[in-house]
Amino acid sequence: MLKEVVEVKFNNIDGNTDITVDFGDGTVKEGKAATPITYAYTQSGDYTLHVTAGQYEVQKRIRIYNLLALTEAMKQFREPDNKKSMGHDTPGAHVGQDCSREFSLFRRRCH
């Protein structure tokens, strides 16, 4: 099950400003600028987010990936027994690496 989460967060705007986010797949959420709005996509694909903040409107195209293969690969790095490569310890292994992606108004992460 795909669960890439997109978080819409506002800075430098009055926290009482009304926010509407259309996530491009038929899901629309409303809130206030002071509180991030999050959504977990269930299908990979290309989406256009349409965000309205008071009198302002922003659109952002994003691509949602099926992260199952990446998630499974990352589990190998979290397992202590899998941190050895060719008979020696791998320096800087990505233990518990955060796969968050942050850009502009939107932050994406996988669960």
Q: Report how far apart, in Å, the C-alpha atoms of 85 and of each of 90, 93, 96, 110 are.
A: 6, 10, 18, 26
Residue with tokens 């989460």: 5
Query: Which three-class secondary structure state does DSSP give residue 98?
Result: coil
Which residues does residue 22 pair with via DSSP β-bridges, in sequence order?
A: 28, 50
DSSP 53: E
Residue with tokens 């965000």: 51
pLDDT tens digits for range 81-91: 655 544 444 44
Percent residues over pLDDT 90 in the chain: 37
Whether residue 98 has pLDDT greater than 50: no
Name which residue leads in pLDDT, 91 or 5. 5
Whether residue 96 has pLDDT greater than 50: no
28 φ, ψ to 5°? -125, 130
CA–CA separation, 21 and 37 (whole Å):
8
In the sheet that holds 28-32, the strands lie side by side as 28-32, 18-22, 45-53, 56-64
Contact 78, 88 (CB under 8 A): no
Res. 42 pLDDT band, cuts 50 70 90: confident
